[in-house]
Structure 1
Amino acid sequence: MTLLIDRDQGISSPALVPGEVDLARDHGGAELTIGLINNMPDPALKATERQFMKLLQAAAGPRRIRFHCFSLPSVKRSPEAKWHVESEYSDLADLKRHKFDGLIVTGAEPVAPELDQEPYWRDLTELIDWAKVNTRSTIWSCLAAHAAVLHLDRIGRRRLPAKCHGIFDCEPVTDDALTRAAPAPLKVSHSRLNEVAESDLTQAGYQVLTRSAEAGIDIFVRQYASRFVFFQGHPEYDALSLQREYLRDIGRYLARERETYPHLPVSYFDAETEEKLARFEKRVRHQRHPALTNDLPALTLRADIAAGSAAAALFRNWLQYLAADTKAPLLAR
């Protein structure tokens, strides 16, 4: 399915609704073709569509975006999610039959001990190789970033002592047009159990653009025929994304689907909410039952999280790069 995104279009539904979009009429002005390879787990599938659509809309200005959704066919799906992908998404084979200015590839929920043992590994590595020479730039988000550097340079990720989960202040470490005019510090959502080491990346020729004192590397890049941009975080997350994940993990703990109680997201809830959640945690550790989710306190986020502002600036710069004449100097120069 193809959608045409412009700044006056309402994006309120978490699902992609085909609608009646006249793609044949003359829209005028600049237009970019962007593909989203959405491999997120089923509960986040539609939310991810909405988040990237809203992010591209905020970043595009008067420019129109011709937006295609895909998903790797080897990603395991529930019957409902599979129906949604089959009925609303373009076939992955269409990717190689059309010209794409840019590509965004999300991570997927791990099901194997190692990334190169995942059932979608072959499809993903073929996509990585194709994107190197068939896009102006491709964004690899979270687990997709880890998978890409493993395939490209055999850089393995490392397990963290505890989940990196929260909103972190990230600072530019080099001058680059991708981060130009972005708010400082960039407040970026991270939600991951693993990381890639900066020393491994720099030795292999990657350039680190932003880093957090607490979360480590945030954005790094590598130039091929396409400029590959890697996010260890989730710039697309809206204000409530981390809350949904945190509540999901509490539910899994109470249902005995996980053994450890989740840590609070860093710099996310206000002080009063953190106190209430600490009391709730103490209670459920002594009385573990799924029904206790009904007793969760009201949650209030910190006022300074600024969800989305950093991502809008980054994606605005990315779209400007994609729109530049192919003979113009590369973004990094």
Structure 2
Amino acid sequence: MKAIIPVAGTGARLRPHTYTQPKALLPLAGKTILNFIVDQLKDAGIQEFIFIIGYLGEKIEEYVNYAYPELNCRYVFQSSRIGTGPAIALTKELVGDDEVFIVMGDTICDFDIKAVLDSPYSMIGVQKVDDPRGFGVAEMGREGFIEHLVEKPKIPMSNTALVGLYKIKETHIMYECLSHIFSQNITTEGQFHLTDALQCMIHRGAKIQTFKVKHWYDCGRKETLLETNALLLKKIGNQVDPTAQIENAIIKPPVSIGPGSKISNTIIGPHASIGANTVIEQSVIRDCIIGSFSNLHEVVLDNSLIGNDASVKGLSRNLNIGDNTEIDFG
């Protein structure tokens, strides 16, 4: 089985951080979003990965090759942004007739991956949501198979939302159906969606089941990214790298403190992730994600997202901040 991970999006809702860093490489609970996805698949035995890259794609390729030299990784470039369907279609020659597990590049979920991989059927991850109009939605038949799939329905017939996890056994039918929706110009809001190709598969006789995820971590916006950081820290527990220098500081678990960081006369936590080689002095940091190689002095930060190589000095309000930085003293 091969894994397909689309990571070509621009991450517009996470500006200014995604001006210089792909969303998949944003820090989260001591790792990156992409680490959580790849590690879960790798631990389940998948060794072949296809990454669909685009915006800042060279950073994805460089990071994956450095972090996972043992994996067989290939890359395809998506130049147009007209939906998930064209992105997946780019992988046809690399996949052949092999089964695939598709994970959208910002989708972190808890689920029984072994049970999904062992199932004799294609499967799609789902979760009940309050308002399914912004998602792909599955309607179930009596025999436990999906009867109908629709992308972003104005009047949903179900609140069972697709979370971005797809195990596809009949890949030849999937690629045929992708070609079909392109030739017939089947779009939703001007985009060609994988959901419509999967509905075509069902129409052609493919049997697709759903599997429920235990938790779906939202990494789409600053507020939800911070919430996800807190939830994952609670799940993983305290992570303080042994090379971090901590002097006269109070650590309130759970936190993640990266290698080479220097923390002095400071209160850290709870729910704070500190990147590598960051210096924090005379500050209070809680419910935050702080990037690597940053320098914070005399600041009180709550629910904040600070990028790499940032310098923030607090009480004097004398700031010298580089491009693409957002500061809210309110």
TM-score, normalised to structure 2, is 0.30
**Could you say which structure has the larger radius of gyration?**
2
Query: Higher RCO, 1 or 2 (CA under 8 Å, sep at least 6)?
Result: 1
**The structure with more strand, counted as a fraction of residues:** 2
TM-score, normalised to structure 1, is 0.30
